Each structure stands twice: as C-alpha cells, then as structure tokens.
Chain A
Amino acid sequence: MPDKKSKTRRILGHIAPELFAGREAELREITSLAAHTAGPRSLLLLSAPFAGVSELLRQSYDKLFAQRGGASPIYFSLSRGDSTQAAARRFLHTFLTQLVAHRREDPTLIATSPTLRDLLELAAPSDYEWVERLVQTYERAREDGDERALVRACFGAPQQANARGARTVVMLDDVHLAANMSGEVELGAEIAQAAAQADVPFVLAGLRRRLADVLNGTAERPRLDGMRALHLEQLKSVEARSLVEQIAQRAGVALNDETRDLIVQQFEGSPYFITALVQSALLSGTALTSFREFQKLYVDELMGGRINRRFNSVLEEIVPSVALRRNLLRVLHESASNVGGKSPVEAWLRRLVVEPLELERIMGGLHMRELASFHTTFVETSPGAVWRDFLRVSYRLQVAVEPRALVVADTLVETLKRAPQTMARHYRREAALKLGDLLERFDFQRVPASLLHYDRFSRMYRGVPVEEVSAGLDAETDLIRLPQVVHTASCASFHPPILQACDEERCAVAHGFDSSSYADANEVVWIAVEIESKLEAGRALTEVWLDRLAQVAQACGFHRVRLCLVASEGFSAEAVELLNEREAFGASRQQLEFLTARLSPGAAAESTGGNEFVMEIPMGDDTELIAAHTVEQIARRMDFQPEAINQIKTALVEACINAAEHSFSPDRKIYQRFRLENDKLVVTVSSRGLVVNPIASENGNSPANHSNDNEAGEGAKGRRGWGLKLIRTLMDEVEFERVDDGTRLRMTKYLRK
C-alpha cells in the first residue's frame, strides 16, 4: 500500500514540490495511475506550448517516488538530437536506472548514470533474472543490427518488468520529437504500440498540434484507441492568480494584487512563464509589488533570461543556420506587424530565400510550437504577447542591430504604457456578457418575446422588483422560438476589422437553424454585439452598429441574418424604432441576464421544481392507450378541464401512432416526457429511427401513407395522414423536430381555468 503521507523530495522536479502549484487536478490524475485499481489505462497528454507539461511530469515523478511500495515512476524525455536507436537505448537505460533506484529507495542513483552491467548488479535479487534477460535481448538486437527488434526490446521493458511483478508508471515526455528522428522505424508508432499492448499505464505527453499524428504514424488504423486524452491548456485567470500567489509566497517574493493580476494577464496564464519570472524575482531579490518592478524583470527575461533562452532554443531547433534564423526573425517580425499577423506564403519564400520544401519544414516547426499557423496560402504569426515582444526585441537587436540600451529602454517604456491597457482589456473581458456562450444555449428554446425587445421589456418591467419580473416573464404567452446554434465564434474570427470597433468577446457570430430540419431554407446566422453606452443607446449609435454588423454579414456572405444589439441601459425610443425597422433585436444588460438565467442548464427544471414524468412504451398493441391514460391522470392533477384532457389524450394518441408508423424504429419504443409547468403541460414524444416529416406527409401525400392506406382499410384510401393536423388543432403549441437518429414532437397545452 503506498504511503501517501511520505514527504515529496525534489528528484527530477526543476522547482521544489512546495512551489509547484496550479496543476493539482492533473497531478492527481497522473499519480492515480500508480494505483493497482487504476489498471493499465494510459493517458495522452496533449499540451499547449509553455503550459508546463514537463514540470508536471517531473513533479508527478517525484510524488510517485515518495509513495514507497507503489508502482515505480519512470520519466523519460525524448531528445531532439537522438536517433531512433539512441532514443530507445536511452529509454532502456533510464527505465532500469529509475526502476532500480525506486526499488532500492535510493534516488541518488538517478544522477549517477550507472552502466547496464552496474544496474544488473544493483538490481534486487528478485529482479535479477528478468533484468539480465532484458539486457541480453537488447544486446542481441544491437549486435544483429535489427533496429525494430531493438526498439521493441527497449520500449517493451515496462511490460517485461510488470510480468515479473515490477509495476511501473511510464511517463514519456516530448514524444512529438519522435517525428524528426533518423532511423528505419517510426518511433512514435512503436511507442504507441508499446503503450497499447502493455499492462502498464503510460503517459504519452507532447505538443498538441503534433502528438497524435506522431503516435499514429502512417498506420491506417489509429493506435490511440482506448487512451484517455488530457488537454493541458494555459491556466485560467483564477488558477494562474493562485499559482503566482503560491509560488511567490513559498519563494518569499513580495507580491501585491495589482502586479499579480498583470503577471497573469501579460503571461496569458502560462505556468512556464509565470514560474520563470517568479524564480527570476527570487534570484534577483526583486519584489513584485509594482508594475515597474515587474516590467523591468520581464524585459530582463526577454533580453537574456529564461524566456529568451527558451524562445531562442526553439528557433535554433527549427532553423540551425544562424543566417537563416536571422532572416526568419525578420520575416516573423514583419508578418507580426501586418494586420492580423498574416502574410502570404510567396512572401515568405522570397524573403527567406529557401526552397518550398525547406519552408514547409520550417513552417511545420513553427506551427507545432504554435508560434505561427500555416494555412497553405498564408502564414499567421501567433498573437501571444510574450512571443511578439520577443520577436520585436530580437529583431531590433539581431537584425536591425540597434543599441541594446535603446531596445531595453524602449521595451520597458512600451510594456509600462501597455500595462493599464492590458488590465483594462482584462476587466472588460471579465465584465462581458459572454454572448457566444449564451447563443450556444439557444437550442430551439422558447423565451418571452419581451426579453429581446427592449421597448416591451421597459414598458412592462421598468422599476419592477426582480421577483415580479420573473413571475411576469413566466406568465408571458408571446414567445420567441430561438434557433439551434451549431457553431459560435467571435465576430473577429470571421471579420478581423471589427476589432477596431469592439473587443473580441463582445461580438459573437452564431450559425444555426431556426427549424429542426437542417435545410438551406432554415439556415440562419445570428450576430450579437454588446455595445458601449452609459445611457440608453441613441439612434445614431444604434444605426452605426446595425450598419457595421450588416457589413460584416455582407463581407462574410451570410444570407439569412438576425442582428441582436445589447446596450447596458437599453435603447432610446428612436433607437428602438430603428431596431424594429431593421427587424433587429435589442436588449439591455438586465434583459440578457434574465435570458441567460432562463437558458441556463437546469433552469427549466428549477422553474418547475423538476416536475417531470418520463415514460417509455413499446410500439403496437394499442399501447398508446396506456400513454393516454397516463397523461389523463397528469392533466387531472393540473386541473385541466375535461374537454382539454380529451384533447391532450387524442393528441398524444396521434403522436404515438405517428411515431410508430413513420419511424422504422430500431428499438420499437416510444419515449415520452410530461413536464408540468406553472401554466402548461408540455408533452414530448420521441422515437428513434428513420426521419419522415409528417408535415410533408399530411393528408396522404407521402408514399408511406399510401402503403398504410391499404393496411388501414379499403375505404380509408387517400384519407390518412391527419395525425399532425389533428395534433396542431388540439394543442396550443406543436413543434416537430428532427433529432439525432429520430424525431421529437413537442406539444404544449396551456391551462385555462
């Protein structure tokens, strides 16, 4: 049983365990693999650049090492200088060293680089036999010059060890580097195969833009089946703030809240950059209690610190030639200076003076590290603030050959001037309504029309207490059916010039359908924007935004468009008039908050107290009668009038018949939900199977109906297909929707006492 209380000491970690923060969940997930109950489940750790994946793995190693008696941790990082054989050899050596070290509880062994023969002698008696056999297998493969056998012998070591009772957790880092290794076999694919076949948990980590491709190799069948993917992104603001606080506190670096927040924003939540900076502060004895101190330290890091070394190392790896690298810096800097950071591939070819294949290789390296994105015809330099600062500084020093003092001074001044803007943007982003998220939740829901018409809302609810507004909204019968949104993105993603008018998160574009049939005619694009206005937005401002969004729609080729403007305090009467003329929606922040609350997951259940019945009946044998009797009982509880109850029953019977007749259902079942809301009963009938639109088949127009005519009775010919017509007449609202693998009919009956 692992001793979980053992104190973790630093073995492989670059920072002390107590300084490692912000990745608790990931650390827990990796270390949990050591538990016997976890089985051989492996993890694919897809990391963003500078997200701190290597340190996470090293910390996991140290933590697992401290758990005496458990599985032995193995950490191995691929190296860009290795050949396939060298990497395999190194792995075997690392594996045996770390395994023996753990089993001997002697971490000092790791740093001593013992030979394989040394390790054989140091191995525990119970391990001796299999270690010797493993070494012999490896040596035989090496002597035979059989690279595949050698690679398999080395990466098969964890499985061999496990078979003899030596269980390990194998963490392989920088696996994406396997792509560029010289050798006869695809190392990435071999690693994936070893991980898939072993009864030992593996963690395969690497850069997210490359890792999966490297592991799959050229195999037609994916080798990663069954592996759980863990995405390692930059930290969110809250986590990053906590990281800065914790490591500063543990390192004894003074920190104030303002500087902490700026560090988080400027480094965009990168644990790597944050840790590098705080460590630099520790080493230089700098307090992080003012923007000035922080930016001075930051500029030092850019000019020659860990951040500088890291970027330089990456560029050297991509372009070893000094002259070409200088050229690359120039082109990257120029590209970054263009609108959107884009430039055509032809320009890169001309400026770099390289063959297309070489350019492709360079772009592959930049793309993998997310320093640029390669889009066949153009290249986009990544917008990360630190990367752009590094480019600017490096360009001025290495290409423009400007005096270092001037570059330092300018950069410091610029970063200080930029700091308030960075924070202001952060505050605006935090305060934004997150329109994209809201649009995503539309999903054909019906909402009171007043929530999207400021004039109505203002007329009905201005000055009314919140509880009364909620009650009023619940009672509204004029409802708008929202579309189902299938994709949202910021408006700037479609049309970058919009950034000149508003922040990225304040304007969203949502593609969707306003009817359940995914057809051209139902396609619709919503463009929603949050406009800045301290008072009610006037007509002129509203007009500017309506025109602007119409231009976006035109430029992007959107055909059916709904515009939605959100102004904090709503709109003036003249502005409302214009919104109505242009058939655009307009809402205040308060309306959007009500809308958000109504569209939140679980909002409906909350408003009804979760009053819902669910029933599943087999098709045929008059089972619709059972459904009808059930709904009768429910409707009675709600005090529906007898006439209305009969109407609901008949509608439900028709819906069941429709489901049974039209669906070619594979499971021959009808799924029903009866939801009781304050003033209505919502009945949903769904079934799996072929989608036949009963609207098109009304009154016997469809072939399906004709076939049923014959079955129904001779006299019934041409008189079938009244079901939906009946339902529409008997119920207050009816929606027929195509859903994945089937259909859903939603019928609502309002309570009229």
Chain B
Amino acid sequence: MTQPNHAHTALNPLSDGEVAVVFAGDYVNKLSGQRIERECRLKLESGYRALVINFKGTELVNSIGVSILLGVIDIAEQKEARVVFTNVNRHTVELFELLGLTRHVAMAESDDAALATLSEFAAPSPPQGH
C-alpha cells in the first residue's frame, strides 16, 4: 500500500460508515495538523463515531502538531466519538507520552487493532447524515 505524503482520509471497509481513518502524513506540524483537524471535524460532522489517525510513515511530530492533535481529541470527545492512533513509531510514542497525549487517546499497532479496540468500547450507531 502506497503511503500518502499528506493527511487524507479513507473509509475502512470493516466499519464502513462508522469509523474514519485519517492519515497523518510524514511530518505533523501546524499546517498538516490543521489539515488533520479539518478532516476529522468533517468526518465527525458527517456522522462518523470513531476516528483512527494513522501515523504510518510519520517521521516527525512537532509540539504544535501535538497541541492540534489534543484539540482533535477534545473535539471528538465533545461529539462523543472515539479516537485511536495507529502505527505510531516508538519515538513519536515517547513524544506523546512526554506531552501527556497518551493519557487522552488509545494507541493501536494497526488499523485492524484499532477497530478491535473501538468495538470493545463503542456501540455502533448509524451516521447522522445531513
């Protein structure tokens, strides 16, 4: 599977209509963070109940990126949606731990593992289309 260079979304076939996967891209900074935030907001507004943010190929996350990710978690909480981070490399995990982000979000090794985690906690509900 080709990894995208920038954040974009994909529908997960296993939970179509309920879980959106957002790719973080290779560098999570202010610009790409805002892109992730926008994508997530749009997904939530279109009825998705869970977000998987995939960090595969993410080389660096800076502190602005982390602050935006925390904002995404806040937004999701307000919408009673769940967020899971997947494919986060060891260094980025350490960074998230350092900045307290791991206290607010579940981490999974892959998207499949993320779906499994989500199914444990969330009862599926239909998307609220506009």
Report A's interface with B, CB cutoff 8 A. Answer: 622, 624-625, 628, 643, 646-647, 649-650, 653-654, 657, 711-717, 719-720, 722-723, 726, 729
Contact = CB atoms under 8 A, between A and B. Distances in A.
Contact of B98 (A716, A717, A723, A726): A726
Contact of B67 (A647, A649, A722): A722
Contacts of A717: 71
28 contacts: A622-B31, A624-B62, A628-B60, A649-B60, A650-B60, A650-B62, A650-B95, A657-B29, A657-B63, A712-B67, A712-B68, A713-B30, A713-B33, A713-B68, A715-B37, A715-B72, A715-B74, A716-B64, A716-B67, A717-B71, A719-B67, A720-B64, A722-B63, A723-B63, A726-B63, A726-B95, A726-B98, A726-B99
B70 interface: yes
B28 to A, nearest CB: 11
Question: Which of A657, A715, A719 has the largest count of B CB atoms less than 10 A from its CB?
Answer: A715
Contact of B30 (A649, A650, A711): A711
B23 interface: no
B60 A713 contact: no
Contact of B37 (A643, A714, A720): A714
A657 B33 CA distance: 15
A692 to B, nearest CB: 16
Given A622-B29, A646-B91, A720-B67, A713 B99 contact: no
B90 to A, nearest CB: 8
B58 to A, nearest CB: 12
B34 interface: yes
Question: Which of A653, A716, A722, A729 has the largest count of B CB atoms less than 10 A from its CB?
Answer: A716
Given A712-B67, A722-B63, A722-B99, 14 more contacts: A643-B90, A653-B62, A654-B62, A657-B64, A712-B34, A712-B71, A713-B33, A713-B71, A715-B68, A715-B75, A716-B64, A720-B63, A720-B64, A722-B67
Nearest to A716: B67
Interface string B25-43: 0010111011001000000
A654 B27 contact: no
A720 B69 CA distance: 12
Contacts of A719: 66-67, 70-71
Given A650-B95, A729-B98, A722 B66 contact: yes
B115 to A, nearest CB: 24
A711 B31 CA distance: 10
Given A715-B37, A717-B71, A719-B70, A654 B63 contact: yes
A714 B63 CA distance: 15
A90 B47 CA distance: 101
A647 B72 CA distance: 25
Contacts of B91: 643, 646-647, 650
Contacts of A715: 37, 68, 70-75
A723 B98 CA distance: 12
B87 to A, nearest CB: 16
Interface string B47-70: 000000000000010111011101
A713 B67 contact: yes
B34 A713 contact: yes
B92 to A, nearest CB: 9
A98 B37 CA distance: 86
A405 B78 CA distance: 108
A713 B63 contact: no
A649 B91 CA distance: 11
Interface string B73-102: 111000000000000001100010011000
A716 B37 CA distance: 10
A716 B70 contact: yes
Interface of B, helix, strand, loop or mixed by DSSP? helix
B74 to A, nearest CB: 5
A622 B64 contact: no
A716 B68 contact: yes
Nearest to A721: B63
Nearest to B31: A622
Contacts of A622: 27, 29, 31
Contacts of A712: 30, 33-34, 64, 67-68, 71
Nearest to A709: B67
Nearest to A629: B59
A539 B1 CA distance: 77
Question: Which of A622, A628, A657, A713 has the largest count of B CB atoms less than 10 A from its CB?
Answer: A713
A650 B94 CA distance: 11
Contacts of A643: 90-91
B70 to A, nearest CB: 5
B66 A713 contact: no
B55 to A, nearest CB: 14
A722 B90 CA distance: 20
A622 B72 CA distance: 22
Nearest to A729: B98
Contacts of B68: 712-713, 715-716
Nearest to B71: A715
A712 B98 CA distance: 20
B25 to A, nearest CB: 11
A713 B37 contact: yes
Nearest to B34: A713
A713 B41 CA distance: 12
Contacts of A714: 37, 71, 75
A440 B109 CA distance: 56
Contacts of A628: 60
A296 to B, nearest CB: 81
A470 B64 CA distance: 43
A726 B63 CA distance: 8
A361 to B, nearest CB: 69
Nearest to B98: A729
Contacts of A720: 63-64, 67
A312 B72 CA distance: 90
Question: Which of B27, B31, B63 has the largest count of A CB atoms less than 10 A from its CB?
Answer: B63
Contacts of B90: 643
Contacts of A726: 63, 95, 98-99
Nearest to B64: A712
A197 B75 CA distance: 73
Contacts of A729: 98
Contacts of B95: 650, 726
A716 B71 contact: yes
Contacts of A646: 91
